[in-house]
Every structure is written in structure tokens, then in C-alpha cells.
Structure 1
Amino acid sequence: MSTSTPQKTVLLIGASRGLGLAMTGEYLKRGWRVIATGRENSTGRLRELAGPLDVESVDVTRADQVAALRERLAHREIDLLFVNAGVKNDDRETIADVSTDEFVRVMVTNALSPMRVVETFQDLVRPGGTIGVMSSGQGSIANNVNGNYEVYRGSKAALNMFMRSYAARHADDPRTLLLMAPGWVRTDMGGPQARLSIEESIPNLLNTIDAYAGRSGLHYLDYLGKVVPW
């Protein structure tokens, strides 16, 4: 008598375009059930994808909308929570140039909001499941030898530190925690000069996430599974 493997469920936050949209399509190809989110009026491309897909609207910078989504999904159990939400700023701005409003916008979107989602949805992730956020190699302090992209780098380094604190507070949690660096990818955010295509990054990134399933603790990895130095 054959037994079927239960279908896995991923909740992808920030999936309406770019890397998040590509992740959604790839997980559907791999037979996962996907709950994918985007801001209101931005989910058109998501809804065109075929497969077991539920689309939700949420602005992760709005705590009330995050809480409302959590209430709507209260009875769902998920295998993987992955937060992809993020923005960049003017690459030329140094910390001496950036306005306070712009600094706050980047830090709230890239550091505070992903962690707010993790804290809000953690209890929906099954024991032995995975919680991941989209970091960046530019969040590595050790690898920053040429400056540039200062505000963006700082926001990702802050995200890494907040995830490190989360891991320390949940040291006995058996779930896998991931900080993923997708590489420099040709998207609206990455720009046309980026080194990698989506097809070179995302399938490998998903392979790495899958390979680390069941490995408890926090791991900072690139899309090929190489450890990124803090």
C-alpha cells in the first residue's frame, strides 16, 4: 500500500513582484500550497499563477494589517514562513546624505517590518518547520570592504541582528531560522546590471532552504548554500 506525502504549505510575505513572485511560481511548480501576499492593488501578477495558491493583501509596514492577516490565517498550519519584503534607496546616498524620513522608511520596511511578521506568525509554523527572511550579502559587516549602499546595508545588518536576537530568545526552538542572501539579481530592485538572472538565483535559493529543513538554529546563507560571514 502506497502512502502519499502531505502537501507542504509556505506563507510568502512580499510576493507580488521580483524575487517573491519568482519564489511563488517555483514553489507551485514543486507542488507546495502557497499563501502569497502583496500590498493592496499589487497582486495582479500573483493571481495569474496556476496552482494551489491563496493570495492575501497586506502592507507589512502597517501593524494593523499584519494583525488582521494573522487573524484571517489563524487556523492554518504552515511548514515555511518566508518574509521577502524590502526596499532600497538612492545608492549614492551615504549616512551623511540621507534624510531622516528616508532613513526611517528603509529601516522600517527592511528591518522592523520583517521581524514584526516573524513575531506575529511564528506560532503558525509547525514544530520542525522553517522561518526565513530575505537578507542580503550586503548585510555582512565582515564583507563590507568598499562602503557604498550604506543605508541599505545598515538596514540588512539590523535585520540580521534582530534575527540573531530572536534566535537567542528561542534557543530551545527546534525550528530552522534562515537569513537568505539571494545574490545580486536582475529585478526591478536589483537593476539591469545585476550579475544573476532570477532563474540562476531562485531555484538554488529554494534548494538551500529545503536542504536546511530540520536543522535548528539560525543560519546566514547565500543562494548556493554557502555560509555568509557576519
Structure 2
Amino acid sequence: MVGASRGLGLGLVARLLERGWQVTATVRRPSAALNDLAAGEKTRSLRIVTDIDIDVDAAVAALRATLDGEPAFDLIFVVAGVATQAGMPAGQMPREVVGQVFQTNAISPIRFAESFHKRVAASGVIAFMTSKLGSVSLNQGGGWGSYRASKAALNTLARSFAGQHSKASWRVILMHPGWVRTDLGGGRATLDVDTSVRGMVALLERCLEQGDRGGCVFLDYQGQTVPW
């Protein structure tokens, strides 16, 4: 789980532990909430790796070196993302801010996947946390332009990534978690974290059990296809 310090990443770790998974969770900085999970009865099932920033290639390479020689992952889920100044029209945002949003939300997740795809089990899943806001066809009202565009870019890059690795048997899933009450989603959001993560984990487990092979799909937390 890449980006597990809070919100959906933290919720996903908690739910996976409840379901009996062995979880490796990465964070940029120590997380008290994640440490509390590790201190519980599931502590042997959770490994926390700190100082992992997906925007820093050296940190990603160090993580890969740390995990070399270990069993392959059934699931790699890149959750990390930002919504810096999302309410400002993209044409008015400082160029460096827009660039960083695209770096973190679109480029770095794909670079991480390129670095780790050989560590995924043949029947496994590489998942990216995206958003329905990244759907071009559903964008009728605008707003959150830079965030929308960064997630649309992630969707396109993920589909290209899957195509470039078309001979691989693992599957790529772009996951829309719903509008969730987190720091990013805000207090007006319609879903709590638990409802969203239960749906996402159930969907991922079904995909793994059914042995779906290859390709790239864009799904919400209930398993419904989201229009591109």
C-alpha cells in the first residue's frame, strides 16, 4: 500500500488486515494512526516503511532493493495523491504547482509501477487510486481543473502502461473510491472511509479469486465501470 498514513490508504490497510492479508505500507513520514494499527494484535501482519516519497526515485529504488528476494505481491495499490490549490482554475495556478500536481498524481504512480511490476504475482493486480473526476466524458461542469486533468492523465498513462505490458497476466485497475469524507474529499462527501474501503477490498479480492488476466479497467468502489 503506497501512501498509507491517513484517509483511504490507512482505511485500506485496516480493512486488509481484518481480512487476513499481510500488508506492507509505505509513508513519507511516521503516522501515529498507522503505528496504532501495527501495535494491535495484527502487528505481525503489517510492515511499515517510512521515508518513501513516490516523487523521489532514490526512495523508490531503495524500497525495491529492500523487498528484493521476498515473495511476489498479490496486490500493489498506489494511493498517494495531492489536490493542491484544486479550486483554482488551472490557467491561473503557478506553473510549478500545476507541475507538482501532475508529477505526484500521474507520473510518479506510473514510474512506481514500472519499477515494481516484476514484483507482482502472475495473477495479481496493480491498482491506482484515481477519481471519477478524471473521466473526460463525465466532465460537464468543470471545477477542480488541475486535479481532474492529473487524474485523466493517470488514467491514460495507466492504460498505456497496461498496453506496453500486454503479455503480462497481472491486471491494472484504476479505482474510483467514491466521494469520501477525508481531508481531500471534505466534510460534505457522501461516503465514509469504511464503506469505501470495504467495497474496494471486496472488489479486489473478487478480481484475485476470479483470476482475471491482463488489461486495464476503470471501476468504482462498487465494481461499476466508470466512463473514460
By the TM > 0.5 criterion, same fold? yes
- 1:188 paired to 2:183: yes
| Structure 2 gaps, min length 5 | none
Contact 1:15/1:84, CA 8 A, preserved across alignment: yes
Residue in 2 that maps onto 1:126:
121
Partner amino acid, structure 2, of 1:23: L
Residue in 2 that maps onto 1:44:
32
Shift of 1:106: 0.5
CA offsets 1:119-153 (integer angstroms, 9 cap, x no match): 11111111111111101101100110110010000
| Structure 1 gaps, min length 5 | 1-11
Shift of 1:104: 1.0
- Across the two proteins, how many residue pairs are aligned to each other? 218
- Cα distance in structure 2, aligned partners of 1:45 and 1:121: 26
Structure that is richer in helix per residue = 2
- Cα distance in structure 2, aligned partners of 1:113 and 1:44: 25
Residue in 2 that maps onto 1:25:
14
- Cα distance in structure 2, aligned partners of 1:140 and 1:103: 19
Matches within 5 A, 1:133-212: 133-212=128-207
Partner amino acid, structure 1, of 2:217: H
Partner amino acid, structure 1, of 2:35: R
- Cα distance in structure 1, aligned partners of 2:35 and 2:12: 14
Shift of 1:105: 1.2
Provide the alpha-carbon RMSD of the alignment. 1.0
- Cα distance in structure 2, aligned partners of 1:43 and 1:193: 25
Secondary structure of 1:151's counterpart equals helix
Contact 1:59/1:66, CA 8 A, preserved across alignment: yes
2:92 to 97, 108, 119: 97
Secondary structure of 1:179's counterpart equals strand
Residue in 2 that maps onto 1:215:
212
Percent identity among equivalent residues?
Answer: 39
Larger CA deviation: 168-177 vs 181-190:
168-177
- 1:66 paired to 2:67: no
Secondary structure of 1:180's counterpart equals strand
Contact 1:18/1:188, CA 8 A, preserved across alignment: yes
Partner amino acid, structure 2, of 1:37: T
CA offsets 1:163-199 (integer angstroms, 9 cap, x no match): 0111111112111110000011001111111111112
Shift of 1:91: 3.2
Shift of 1:60: 0.9
- The TM-score normalised by the length of structure 2 is 0.93
